Copies of this chain bind each other. A is one copy, B any other.
């Protein structure tokens, strides 16, 4: 694989967040505004550089109109010990 991305939980979370946001057809800015978060924070979450907390996980889920469990589904890469 050219993408040498480790199975990092934050990276996986970010990928799912981005996918769900794009499925809704909204921008990071729009999502951030709805969720009451900063756009740079949402961007950081999508890039997997933020250790997002429970409260903000729910803010994003509610803003996207999805259950927060959607951010944790499809654990399709091996669970490394990080």
Partner-B contacts on A (CB < 8 A): 9-10, 13, 50-55, 57-58, 62, 67-69, 71-73, 75, 79
| A50 CA to B53 CA, complexed, in Å | 9
The answer to whether A55 touches B62, judged by C-beta atoms less than 8 angstroms apart, is no
- The smallest beta-carbon distance between A7 and chain B, in angstroms, is 11
Q: List 10 A-B contacts (CB under 8 A).
A: A9-B55, A10-B54, A10-B55, A13-B54, A50-B54, A51-B55, A52-B53, A53-B54, A67-B75, A69-B69
Closest to A45 in B: B54
Closest to A9 in B: B58
Q: Which of B9, B10, B50, B73 has a CB less than 8 Å from the CB of A69? A: B73
